[in-house]
Structure formats: structure tokens, C-alpha cells
Amino acid sequence: MHFQSIFVQTISVLFAVQATAHALPTDLKADLAAVGDRLAAAVGAGRDGVDAGLGAGVGAELGAGWFLGNVCKRPPAATCLFYTRGLSKAARIFAKKGGADMTTIWEMWNSALYDKRQIKSNPLRCIMQKKEDRNVYFQNMSTAMATMCDVFATVMDKSVDSSKDPNKIRMDGIWGQHEFPTLQKSGNEGKVNQIDAINQDGTIVFTFWTRGNSRLGRGLGGLDKRDTCGIDNDQTAADFDEGGDYPVDW
């Protein structure tokens, strides 16, 4: 009887730990709802007196630090896969195929944080509705991801060809202006020492950057509760890219 009691208690603890691992942090929905309400009020008031600039409200409320504190799947070392505009869906598919076991931005946070539905119960509806706010939201999420990457990272870009010229890589979006500068820093949670560039199907690969020896020839310009981590379909990634209903400037 005593053994049976211990067994039941152990199983109960294991189930409790498992449930906690997959559940939203208790204050996550409240945080999102509060931000959503403020942004909704800003939209209703023509944004007068609310934002210092486009997306400023989102940046202040949901900064990279907030995303770091609410991540549900940190990327294992040497698995981070970034990409430039037009490759959200392609990068996610590549990350999963052939045992590549790479990590994109679409697997790291609770699925509620990618919710684009324009319904009142979605606290992100106002952020997703306006491109400037969407850009800032995903800029901050991307910066948080880059902060966690360690040892090695990869970037996918349409311009990668047999010339293997690093100066062809697109640098005017989130990759060039937020993710890459963050990866170059040495005081992050992780420390990336090399970044490879690949084409869309991964058949062409070259070293884009190594710590202390950059090949670049130019400088860089200035909720509903859900239990899943990441999105559950490739189309969601495509919807947040050029040609999608909610494009972001990756």
C-alpha cells in the first residue's frame, strides 16, 4: 500500500510538471491584453499623444526582454536559422526536412504569440493589423531569438549563388538591421562565432561572417491560452511575409 501511494504521488508530480512546461505563464495573457487595449485606444484616438513614433508603443511594452522572459523553447547550440524577406515559409520547411533539426523564430514561443486573427478576444489584433506595429513586434521577437543563439548560426537568402558573395545578402530588413547586429555582440546569452549563408534549398553554402574576421564589404544602416510552442503550419509563416495578408519586412 505504501509503495502504491508513493507511485501515485510520483505520477501526479510528473503530470503537474508536464502541464506547467506547456502552459502559458500566468501573467502572459494579462500582459498581452493590457498592451492590446492600449494599442486599440491609440488606434481609436488616431494615435495622437500615445506613440513617440510608429511602433513605439509596441517597442516599449513588448521589447526583446519581454520575449526572452516568455520563450518556451530556447534554440539548442548551432541550430538557429534566420532568413531574409520572402523566405519565412521556405526557411521553416528547410529547418524540418531531412533531420536538419534547425530552429526558426516560428518554433520558439507559445502559439498565442503568433495569433493574427482579427477578433476581439485576440489581444494582438491591433498589433497584427498595422504593419509598422507588426514590424516592431517581430523585430523585438527576432532580437530576442538572436540573443539566445550560440556557437553557430545560418541565414537563408535568395541572392546566394555560386559567386558566394556576402555583399549580395539582403541587409535592409529585420535580418540586417536587428538579428545580425545582435548576433555580432559578445555579451549575449549565447555567443555565435560563425554565420553561414545558404540558398533556399541549402545546396549552396558559404561562410558569411566569423567573429573577428568579417567578409562584409559594407557597413550596416543605422490570447487565447494555448499549449503548443510555435506555429503548427507553414502557411502562418508565409502569411507574415511578402505576398501574405500580414507581411513583415524580414
Q: What is the DSSP string of 69-121?
A: HT-SSPPPTT-EEEE-TT-HHHHHHHHHGGG---B-GGGSSBGGGG----STT
Looking at residue 230, its pLDDT comes to: 84
Question: Among all chains, which residue has been given the C-alpha cell 477578433?
Answer: 119
- Split the chain (250 residues) into runs of 10 and give each run's mean pLDDT: 42 34 53 64 43 54 90 96 97 86 96 93 90 93 97 98 97 97 90 96 96 54 52 85 87
Q: What is the pLDDT of residues 169-214, one digit of tens each?
A: 999 999 999 999 999 998 888 899 999 999 999 999 999 999 986 5
Instruction: Give the bridge partners for 196, in sequence order.
Output: 154, 207
Q: What is the DSSP letter of 55?
A: T
For the entire predicted model, the pTM comes to: 0.72
pLDDT at res. 178: 97
